[in-house]
Chain A
Amino acid sequence: LAKTTQPISMDSYEGQEVNITCSHNNIATNDYITWYQQFPSQGPRFIIQGYKTKVTNEVASLFIPADRKSSTLSLPRVSLSDTAVYYCLVGDMDTGRRALTFGSGTRLQVQP
């Protein structure tokens, strides 16, 4: 059973806002939701983390509804350099919180 579900790919244009949603129906009470960005041939890079409601930092916002069964990463005014794969990550209920398993990720392509 997949821990997280995301769209496989998304397309956008420079200057637009991009929202990527992740489903995590089995999220545990103590789990945080964390998003990563990965460029080709590089390790994923932490973007943002939240537990509930809304979190904002200098690069993104994270929206989490009250039931916490999904989350939405919002990237304001994307540029070509935001073309990457985005992963959401939650803790693993079945095997313990330290077994951090990523989903398939969302491949974002930003066009000029």
Chain B
Amino acid sequence: SQTIHQWPATLVQPVGSPLSLECTVEGTSNPNLYWYRQAAGRGLQLLFYSVGIGQISSEVPQNLSASRPQDRQFILSSKKLLLSDSGFYLCAWNIQADNEKLFFGSGTQLSVL
């Protein structure tokens, strides 16, 4: 069966520090991968998605970047965090043939202080 791993679960970082969140998927090949962010009490904002290794689409201009160095690995990064980067970050995947059916990780709660 397919599983998605996302870590860390909680992260507290000072303003101006770097960020690296990692997500890996097991049990499937060539998935679409997604990063979403959710501010407290708000909806899901799509940040990045990837349809293959090295292929990244950015949805919203921001202080973040994403990379996909391997087929089932998706990394969210920042060189210098801002206060506005705080939020709940979710990684998700789906298969190419079943586009709207997403499977989400457990999320990372990021607090930038």
- How far, in angstroms, from A36 to B43 measured CA to CA in the complex? 12
Partner of B57, one of A46, A89, A99: A99
Q: Which of B43, B90, B109 contacts A103 (CB 8 A)?
A: B43
A87-B49 Cα distance, complex, nearest whole Å: 19
Is A34 among interface residues, defined by CB-CB distance under 8 A? yes
Knowing A98-B32, A98-B51, the reply to whether A41 touches B101 (Cβ < 8 A) is: no
Given A101-B46, A102-B43; A46-B59 close (CB under 8 Å): no
Q: Which residue of chain A lies nearest to B109 when distances are taken between CB atoms in the complex?
A: A41
Task: Tell me if A87 and B101 are in contact (CB < 8 A).
Answer: no
Report whether over half of chain A's contact residues are helix, strand or loop; otherwise say mixed: loop
Give the size range of B's interface with the partner.
20 to 34
Q: A41-B88, A43-B105 are in contact. Are A104 and B43 (CB under 8 A)?
A: yes
Given A49-B101, A89-B102, output 4 extra A-B contacts at Cβ < 8 Å.
A41-B88, A42-B106, A91-B99, A104-B43
Whether A45 pairs with B88 at a CB distance below 8 angstroms is no
CB of B96, distance to nearest CB on chain A (Å): 9
Interface positions of A (Cβ within 8 A of B): 31-34, 36, 41-46, 49, 87, 89-91, 95, 97-105
Instruction: Write 21 A-B pairs (CB below 8 A) sorted by A numbering.
Output: A32-B99, A32-B100, A32-B101, A34-B101, A41-B107, A41-B109, A43-B90, A44-B102, A45-B104, A89-B100, A95-B59, A98-B32, A98-B49, A98-B57, A99-B46, A101-B46, A102-B44, A103-B43, A104-B42, A105-B43, A105-B44
- CA of A31 to CA of B100 in the docked complex: distance in angstroms? 8
A104: chain B residues at CB < 8 Å are: 42-43
Q: Inside 8 A of B90's CB, which chain A residues have their CB?
A: 43-44
Question: In the complex, A99 Cα to B55 Cα: how many Å?
Answer: 13
Contact B46 A91 (CB under 8 A): no
